[in-house]
């Protein structure tokens, strides 16, 4: 990762997370999430405007993915259920 990119992220309060060398599974959960989002939402229709896509992604995450969708990485709980049980 470039030093300029890391500095930009740090300046905005982001904690940088990168895979360790030789470990392809470090980002598996994140990669799975984005693949699911693309397959279940984005690839199913042609989008005319960026605003439509942004709104659809926000609604999908807030109204379906976080509260309802069961995730194998979370022992078949939704992200919100898993978070509630962890607290």
Separation of alpha carbons 53 and 42, rounded Å = 8
Residue 37 in tokens: 């989002």
3-state secondary structure 18-79: CCCCCCCCCCHHHHHHHHHHHHHCHHHCCCCCHHHHHHHHHHHHHHHHCCCCCEHHHCCECH
Give every CB contact of residue 65 below 8 A, 6+ residues apart in sequence: 33, 37, 79
Mean pLDDT of the chain: 87
> Where do the structural domains in the chain lie, given as residue ranges?
3-86
pTM for the structure as a whole: 0.63
pLDDT in tens, 45-64: 999 999 999 999 999 999 99
Q: What is the pLDDT of residue 35?
A: 93
Q: What is the pLDDT of residue 38?
A: 94
């Amino acid at each position: 990762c470039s030093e300029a990119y890391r500095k930009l992220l740090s300046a905005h309060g982001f904690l940088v997370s990168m895979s360790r060398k030789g470990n392809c599974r470090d980002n598996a959960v994140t990669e799975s999430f984005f693949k699911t989002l693309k397959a279940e939402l984005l690839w199913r229709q042609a989008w005319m405007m960026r605003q439509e896509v942004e709104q659809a992604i926000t609604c999908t995450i807030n109204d379906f993915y976080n509260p309802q969708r069961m995730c194998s990485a979370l022992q078949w709980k939704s992200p919100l259920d898993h978070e509630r049980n962890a607290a």
